Amino acid sequence: MSLEVIVLAAGKGKRMQSDLPKVLHTLAGRPLISHVLDTAKALQPHAIHVVCGGDGESVRAATSGDELRWVVQAQQRGTGHAVQQALPGVSQDALVLVMYADVPLVRCDTLRAVVNSAGEKGLSLLTVIADDPTGYGRILRDSEGRIEGIVEERDASEDQRAITEVNTGILAAPAPALARWLAQVTDDNDQNEFYLTDVAALADQDNFAIHSVVASTQEEVLGVNSRQELALLERLYQRRLAEVLMNHGVTVIDPDRLDIRGKVTAGRDCVLDINVVLEGAVDLGDRVTIGPNNVIRNASIDDDVVVFANCVIEHASIGAGARIGPFARIRPGAAIEEQVHVGNFVEIKNSELRAGAKVNHLSYVGDSTVGRNTNIGAGVITCNYDGAHKHRTEIGDDVFVGSNSQLVAPVTIEQGATVGAGSTITSDVPERTLAVTRARQRHVSGWRRPRKDTKR
Smallest CA-to-CA distance from 198 within 214, 181, 175, 210 is with: 181
Q: Which residue(s) pair with 262 in the sheet?
A: 280
Whether the CB-CB separation of 249 and 268 falls below 8 Å is answered with yes
Q: Residue 356 gets which letter from DSSP?
A: T
Whether the CB-CB separation of 252 and 269 falls below 8 Å is answered with no
Helix, coil or strand: residue 324: strand
Which member of 49, 361, 389, 443 is catalytic? Answer: 361
Smallest CA-to-CA distance from 105 within 218, 9, 3, 6 is with: 218
Question: What are residue 23's phi and psi, to 5 degrees?
Answer: -75, -5
Helix, coil or strand: residue 321: coil
Q: Residue 398 gets which letter from DSSP?
A: T
Smallest CA-to-CA distance from 417 within 404, 401, 403, 399 is with: 399
Round to whole Å and give the CA distance between 219 and 410. 58
Cβ neighbors of 447 (< 8 A, separation 6 or more) are none
Whether the CB-CB separation of 71 and 56 falls below 8 Å is answered with no
The C-alpha torsion from 232 through 235 and 238 to 242, rounded to 10°, is -140
Smallest CA-to-CA distance from 271 within 296, 235, 295, 246 is with: 246
**361 belongs to the catalytic site:** yes
Q: What positions carry a catalytic annotation? A: 361
